[in-house]
Amino acid sequence: MSDAAAIINPQADTAEHFDVLIVGAGISGIDAAYHIQTQYPDRSIVLLETQDSFGGTWHTHKYPGIRSDSDLFTFGYKWKPWTGAPIATAGEIMGYLNEVLDEQDIRRHIRFKHQVKSASWSSDEKLWTLEVTCKDTGESRFFTCSFLWMCQGYYRHDQGYTPEWPGMEDYQGQIVHPQTWPEDLNYKGKNVLVIGSGATAATLVPAMAGDCGHITMLQRSPTYFAPAPNRNDVADMLRELEVPDEWTHEIVRRKILHDQQEVTRRSFEEPEALKAELIGAARQYLGDDFDVETHFTPKYRPWQQRLAFIPDGDLFQGIRSGKASVVTDQIDRFTAKGVLLKSGKKIEADIIVTATGFNLCVLGDIDFTVDGEKVDFADTVTYRGIMFTGVPNLVWVFGYFRASWTLRADLISEFVCRMFKHMDKLGAQVVTPRLRTEDHNMPKLPWIDPDNFNPGYLTRSMHLMPKQGDREPWIFTQDYWKEKDEFPAADLEDGALVYE
């Protein structure tokens, strides 16, 4: 096939070329840039970012109280110590990333307001050509690269997911999605209804409770919450002993990962005991007279959905204080003043916040072609949840849900650098995952096993995602404790990666 890039866009002749092009300047894109820059300083890199700032998730979300729900010792990078409390606000995470950009001199590689629209691979030229829209001017620009590192996250940043409920148009108050929070939203003294009970709702409710008239969290079904003080005793002790930050970071990471592995193991092997502990902790905060059975006893196994950490049990404290309440029921319809529930109960509210999740998106809603053929990622099989059959020189950073996302970003960065080294040794310019003869009849399984992890945004869009197989290296386990050993030892000559 002739040059697909030239067929599609003759203007690609004017393209700027980079060895490695990173899409997205969130925590994963910055990690990728750090690894390339430190391990391959001779390779040219660029990060293209739709928004006007770095930070991704932590720049997009501006709702009250926005914070991490995992600890920053493991959500932060392995190579940059975290020196604060375990759970951090978006502002603190942005501060950390800002320091990284300065310390590692990465900022100069980022092009903000550059949205990648299409990416075409040409086997003749061994190049990706990207068409990019400049958000300022609306003009198209072209970039070429030898290697495409997709760090665009897993959801659409411009709009969150809001289900359609009957009668929404009748509602006379304001409906707000946390992902597009109006900066001037005034909720002082107002009655607020938050629909949802994930990490976002659990953050919003205590953050707003002090200012609202009353705030109600309406959930279809309960979620597990893990209440604990926002401090790490090991870190505090090591800091008191003036142990260097780098050591403290590494020791605390190991301790947290050790403890989390134990929780994950128990969620599979003794789910009932773990469930009883989590519910018992909720009861301690809420008191014996509170109906924990109805509102905080989920039907699923702990860890089948993300376990939301609530610092100092603030959600439970808000409910206990009477400023916030929780209702477990289903919406029948919206009314002029609020919602009517299936039970017949009504909740009136001046503002309704739909904390109902994200729109999952596959590889940044970019149109991909390989030699002129459209790529449907749902037809591909993933190589270790990093690369895709038939798609050359491309990796996607999809992190962990059960452990911190960034642990996987770091593992993938190290894997890619090792793969580059191997390609250099072979003198290869292209690497493409391809099913081996023995893999052809392999069953094609969902991207993430729904029995293992099944939040709504993932199950809604699973059919769009790449598939995994039933054997190495086509499995995507979402298991940090396996992958931390498997990735560094992965056989790069097992026949699944084809080099040219």
Site residues (CB under 6 A) for ligand FAD? 23-29, 48-51, 56-57, 61, 68-70, 75, 115-116, 151-153, 157, 200, 364, 366, 397, 399, 404-405
| Minimum CB distance to ligand FAD smaller for 96 or for 474 | 96
List Cβ neighbours of 87 (8 Å cut-off, separation of 6 or more).
67, 68, 69, 70, 71, 72, 230, 309, 311
| Residue 331 phi, psi (nearest 5) | -80, 125
CA 289 to CA 88: how far, in whole Å?
32
Q: How far apart are CB 407 and ligand FAD at their closest, in Å?
A: 8
Q: How far apart are CB 236 and ligand FAD at their closest, in Å?
A: 21
| Minimum CB distance to ligand FAD smaller for 73 or for 285 | 73
Q: How far apart are CB 133 and ligand FAD at their closest, in Å?
A: 9
Please state the separation of Cα 77 from the chain's center in Å.
15
| Minimum CB distance to ligand FAD smaller for 117 or for 265 | 117
| Minimum CB distance to ligand FAD smaller for 115 or for 248 | 115
Helix (H, G, I), strand (E, B) or coil at 19: strand
| Minimum CB distance to ligand FAD smaller for 157 or for 253 | 157
Q: How far apart are CB 311 and ligand FAD at their closest, in Å?
A: 11
DSSP string for 299-351: SSPTTSS--EEEETTHHHHHHHHTSEEEEE--EEEE-SSEEEETTS-EEE-SE
Answer whether the bond into residue 473 is a cis peptide, omega within 30°: yes
CA 386 to CA 447: how far, in whole Å?
11
Helix (H, G, I), strand (E, B) or coil at 199: helix
| Minimum CB distance to ligand FAD smaller for 23 or for 360 | 23
| Minimum CB distance to ligand FAD smaller for 3 or for 16 | 16
Q: How far apart are CB 445 and ligand FAD at their closest, in Å?
A: 23
Distance set, CA 86 to CA 76, 209, 358, 475 (Å): 10, 23, 25, 31
Q: How far apart are CB 371 and ligand FAD at their closest, in Å?
A: 21
List Cβ neighbours of 91 (8 Å cut-off, separation of 6 or more).
none
Q: How far apart are CB 318 and ligand FAD at their closest, in Å?
A: 19
